[in-house]
Chains A and B, each alone.
Chain A
Amino acid sequence: MTANRALTPALLVACIIAVFIACLLGSTPMPIDRVLLALFGSGDVSDQIVIWQIRLPRALAAFATGAALGISGAALQGLLRNPLAEPGVLGVSASASLFATFSLYYGLVALSPWVLPIAAMLGALAATALIALAAIKTRSVVTLILVGVGISAFAGAAMSLLMNLAPTPFTLSDMINWMLGSVANRSFRELGFAAPFILGGSAILLASRRGLSALTLGEEAASGIGLNLRNQRILTVLGAGIATGGSVALAGAIGFVGIVAPHIVRPFVGHDPARSLIPSALLAGLILVLADIGVRILPTVNELKLGVVAALIGAPAFIWIAMGRRAIHD
């Protein structure tokens, strides 16, 4: 039990250390004393710029993105009672990034800085709502995942169409950024516009988490013990949609962290979906901060996209988890 209690504090400490390391490392490694001075607003002015305008916001953006995907993944898994449910797999991220790309393509983002996060959130909500509707109709989780794959494929095709029609190479590269997912060059300003969505969505998920434990018994028995199934579905879909939308607005579509983090966390929290939310968020945040450090220090010609690295690690994990599942669960 003690090891389980220590999970959340340990993850929190690890996250803080990882963000600090992200400030140390980069194209020009900076010694600890200079980073500390810069963090507390003294020391060399150029150091302060590197830390406060480049490295720290980027690390925090990676953390916020991961945290949003981790908590959404854990909550969707609880709702759908399946460890393979996740914003990326269910097409929620793809749909969000399609809406975001759409708003970029038509120049809507020039209207207000809120357009991008709101478009991403609407895209995420559209996909989550569709999946929740399908969940009411079908009891088979395999069908749900297939619906998600369909949404993903459709969003991908629509995105390709937009790229096909892209007027300039510049818009094209912008779109590729959204499809692949990256936190390069993020500032506190962008973080500020995504944060209300990520925090708001997470708050909804945390407030309604008890119902996710009830759903362990299946929908029928969960209703029997007093769960309002309809409200639970709405709250989880809304929370996951808003949080995922916020993460996509910040970093584009990044897949699979939402599967990997809850999967690792679950045995430590007694396989209880409610208790897996916060540790999953922290672990997913940690994973993305570390992956982004990797992306930055790997000596590649073009910087790798964070979403590509996440998928390279996450997709095999997805296959591994899927193959390890026992048939009795469906």
Chain B
Amino acid sequence: MTELVAEKLSVHAGKTALVAQADFRVGAGEFVALIGPNGAGKTSLLRASLGLEKANGGCASIDGDNCAELAPMQRARRVAYLPQQRPLAWPNTVRDVVALGRYAYGAAPGRLGNQDADAVERALMKCGLKELASRHTDTLSGGELARVHFARALASDAGLLVADEPVAALDPRHQFRIMDIIHQYVAAGGGALVVLHDISLAARYASRMIWMKDTRIICDGPVEDTLTAERMADVFGVRAKVNGRAVEIEGAA
């Protein structure tokens, strides 16, 4: 059971503020959607809260340990991170890429202990990649690749999942498959913090929404409470019809 807590986290690039005074927490059994327009500071917030980017103020901790001081492998065992850019340099097999999820345990592709091999097989199973395990990644479709990256993250057996736009550029069916994978992960006791641009998808799956606008977190709460037509207009500048968890965007405001 892992908990990620950020307190008054600020990130600057030169003199420009990217994230200002952000407070949030994500714990076990929560599916938290991080929502906001491009340039709101979502990616910087994720990176800084994991200690991958230097925070200029405030601090972030995982189970009470300061992220900036946590050794990379220690952190990787507790939080699995899926960045926005997911290049694959070489056409490895699917199983080898997923095996990289065990890096923090000292394993490497082709050199997996029993526990590592088990974790890799379970991750392949959860993401429906059993049949594709021996395929080379340069022969896969975008949707299949997205599942490979998720399997890689799940293989780490981390208690928390942080994903940056995991469903961008996927067709609706694959978007749902990915969201189902996250949903199952959370149902099994994990916690997830996921950047999403598809508001209706976020509203359907998330248990909580964190809204970001111009470097600040402006709102944090259950979907039913925070998803309103006014907020959609304020944050995204769009006219939207909201009915409970259903949202329909009608055009630019």
Question: What is A's interface to B at a CB cutoff of 8 Å?
Answer: 81-82, 210, 213-218, 220-221, 223-228, 266, 270-275, 329
Contact = CB atoms under 8 A, between A and B. Distances in A.
Contact of B110 (A218, A225, A275): A275
Contacts of A224: 50, 52, 76, 80-83
Interface string B105-116: 000111000000
B49 interface: no
A225 B99 CA distance: 11
Given A217-B86, A218-B88, 12 more contacts: A210-B108, A215-B89, A216-B92, A217-B100, A218-B87, A220-B85, A224-B76, A225-B100, A226-B76, A227-B72, A227-B103, A271-B90
A217 B75 CA distance: 17
12 contacts: A82-B89, A213-B103, A215-B89, A221-B81, A225-B101, A225-B104, A225-B156, A226-B72, A226-B77, A271-B92, A272-B96, A329-B87
Given A213-B109, A271-B91, A275-B110, A226 B80 contact: no
B73 interface: yes
Which of A224, A228, A270 has the most CB atoms of chain B within a 10 A radius of its CB? A224
A221 B84 CA distance: 9
Contacts of B186: none
A263 B127 CA distance: 32
Contacts, number: 92
B89 A218 contact: yes
A312 to B, nearest CB: 28
Top 7 closest pairs, chain A to chain B, by CB: A226-B76, A224-B81, A81-B89, A226-B104, A226-B73, A271-B90, A220-B83
Nearest to B110: A275
B92 A218 contact: no
B92 A225 contact: no
B213 interface: no
A213 B76 contact: no
Contact of A216 (B80, B82, B89): B89
Contacts of B85: 218, 220
B152 interface: yes
Interface in B6-23: none
Interface in B51-91: 52, 71-77, 80-83, 85-91
A273 B109 CA distance: 10
A228 B72 contact: yes
A275 B109 CA distance: 9
B161 to A, nearest CB: 11
A179 B150 CA distance: 50
Which of B52, B73, B85, B90 has the most CB atoms of chain A within a 10 A radius of its CB? B90
Contacts of B103: 210, 213-214, 225-227
Nearest to B84: A220
Interface in B132-161: 136, 149, 152, 156
Contacts of A216: 88-90, 92, 97, 100
User: For chain A, what secondary structure do more than half of its interface residues adopt (helix, strand, loop), or is it mixed?
Assistant: helix
Contacts of B136: 271
Interface of B: 50, 52, 71-77, 80-83, 85-93, 96-97, 100-101, 103-104, 108-110, 136, 149, 152, 156
Contacts of A225: 76, 81, 100-101, 103-104, 152, 156
Contact of A217 (B72, B88, B93, B108): B88
Contacts of B77: 226
A141 to B, nearest CB: 10
B90 A272 contact: yes
A223 B80 CA distance: 11
B90 to A, nearest CB: 4
Nearest to B50: A224
A273 B90 contact: yes
Contacts of B156: 225
A180 B74 CA distance: 49
A227 B71 CA distance: 9
Nearest to B76: A226
Contact of A274 (B75, B81, B88, B108): B108
Contact of A272 (B81, B86, B110, B152): B110
Nearest to A214: B103
Contact of B83 (A82, A215, A221, A271): A221
Contacts of B52: 220, 223-224
A150 to B, nearest CB: 24
A213 B108 contact: yes
Given A225-B103, A272-B96, A217 B152 contact: yes
A329 B108 contact: no
Contacts of A220: 52, 83, 85
A218 B83 contact: yes
B77 to A, nearest CB: 7
A262 to B, nearest CB: 11
B160 to A, nearest CB: 12
A218 B52 CA distance: 14
A272 B109 contact: yes
